[in-house]
Amino acid sequence: MTDTLPLEEQIAHLTRTLDDLSEVVAAQQAEIDRLTRRVAMLMAREAEREADGGGAVTLGDERPPHW
């Protein structure tokens, strides 16, 4: 009779690891979805601002007009 206990322990450990990783992936996907919605909202807001004529953006490397 062969001893299957080490294999059963390894399978249990791998199953637990797989479950843990699955939870991490699900949480990361939820965060990606949330961030994607926020970026889309910000892009729509910026497009609306540009359409309203407020599209002038001062870049950090531009000199102020008094220079």
C-alpha to C-alpha distance for 44 and 46, rounded to whole angstroms: 5
Res. 64 pLDDT band, cuts 50 70 90: low
Res. 12 pLDDT band, cuts 50 70 90: very high
Which pLDDT value is given to residue 58?
A: 60
Three-state DSSP state, 32:
helix
C-alpha to C-alpha distance for 12 and 10, rounded to whole angstroms: 5
